Amino acid sequence: MAAEPTETATLRPVEPAEPLSGPGRRVESYWVRLRSLVHGAPVLTGVMVAAFLVAAIFAPWIAPHDPGAASFLVALNPPFWVEGGSIAYPLGADQLGRDILSRLIYGAQLSLIVSFFAIVIAGSVGIVLGLTAGYVGGAIDSLIMRIVDAFLAMPFILMALGFVAALGTSVTNIVIVMAITNWARYARLVRGEVLSVKERDFVALARVAGQPRWRIVWKHVLPNVTNSIIILATLDLGRVIILEASLSFLGLGVQPPAISWGLMLADGRSYMTVAWWLTVMPGLAILFTVLSLNIMGDWLRDRLDPRQRIE
């Protein structure tokens, strides 16, 4: 894992020679590149991630029922393969007779919104501070890194709970809390990468050539750390989804009528012995989503960062 960063490790695959002319050749070369990028991708995982994204983005068009519509006639109806279940409510209905599948689809929306925005904010803050710490160095570096250490020392869930208690439980606040509790890891990662990139010849050359500092950081340092950031962000999507669900499960995340997988699980808990599907289905939704994101992240790591390859 902690192998010395070597020059060869960060070389990109040799690009096919630039075609002389003609739009056809250009399309072909993009196709070749795309194929080589996707080569060996975990197909099933990709399909699952895609299904999650489609469910989240197109929820109103896909969901078979209104997720809030209660119908006591079908309350606690089991999934269709269990006796008494019907295909109209394929994954069963909850204690108020709301369609579980539709609620899962809308729950995906919340998971995606929270995790995506949280990571974009956390990542941006972390990248800026990490670049600053790593490139400027000295007292500023020490100061930023001690703050990073402080955030990393705080118990994750406790810190999130504390901030939620302080700020409130709206979706925006949950996103902010997730960003506050996650930025430090990006800062540490970026700083570490910058420290090793900054010693390389091309950065020294740019400096000698008299390029301004911000330009060196932006044009030469940042592009060399993006791969690591993409890997961490992919793996973090899953982490944040679980964290959001945990907060909701504790009753300290988003509040009804908002639909969250964690909230569904918490609601279904009292019916666990009579209607297992109320807790098992949202749990499986979280598990499969996070699992595919993690497999995707591992695959990206192998592709983009051979130094960290576990094989």
Min. distance of Cβ 149 from other proteins in angstroms? 4
Min. distance of Cβ 4 from other proteins in angstroms? 12
Distance separating alpha carbons of residues 187 and 93, to the nearest angstrom: 44
DSSP 20: S
Closer CB to other proteins, residue 42 or residue 68?
Answer: 42
Q: Which span sits near other proteins by CB under 8 A: 20-28, 77-85, 201-209, 277-285?
A: 277-285
Min. distance of Cβ 74 from other proteins in angstroms? 23
φ, ψ dihedrals at 93, nearest 5°:
-130, 155
Asked whether 287 and 111 are in contact (CB, 8 A), the reply is no
User: Considering only residues 292-311, where is the footprint of other proteins by CB under 8 A?
Assistant: 293-295, 298, 310
Min. distance of Cβ 89 from other proteins in angstroms? 22
Distance separating alpha carbons of residues 132 and 187, to the nearest angstrom: 9
DSSP 99: B
Asked whether position 195 contacts other proteins by CB under 8 A, the answer is no
Residue 228 vs residues 73, 123, 157: alpha-carbon distances, Å:
52, 11, 25
CA quadruple 68, 74, 76, 81: dihedral, nearest 10: -110
Distance separating alpha carbons of residues 253 and 62, to the nearest angstrom: 25
Min. distance of Cβ 46 from other proteins in angstroms? 15
Distance separating alpha carbons of residues 130 and 38, to the nearest angstrom: 30
Closest Cα partner for 109 from 230, 251, 235, 289? 289
Asked whether position 155 contacts other proteins by CB under 8 A, the answer is yes
Asked whether position 76 contacts other proteins by CB under 8 A, the answer is no
Cα dihedral across residues 149, 155, 157, 160: positive or negative: negative
Q: Which span sits near other proteins by CB under 8 A: 151-159, 187-195, 205-213, 216-224?
A: 151-159
x/- mask, other proteins, residues 234-273, rule CB under 8 A, reads ----x---x--xx--xxxx---------x--x---x--xx
Q: Which of 166, 208, 209, 257 forms a contact with other proteins (CB under 8 A)? A: 166
Asked whether position 156 contacts other proteins by CB under 8 A, the answer is yes
Min. distance of Cβ 206 from other proteins in angstroms? 29
Distance separating alpha carbons of residues 35 and 235, to the nearest angstrom: 23
Closest Cα partner for 261 from 240, 291, 288, 283? 283
Asked whether position 78 contacts other proteins by CB under 8 A, the answer is no
Closer CB to other proteins, residue 99 or residue 298?
Answer: 298
What is the contact surface with other proteins in residues (CB under 8 A)? 1-3, 146-147, 149-151, 153-159, 161-167, 238, 242, 245-246, 249-252, 262, 265, 269, 272-273, 276, 279-280, 282-283, 286-287, 290-291, 293-295, 298, 310
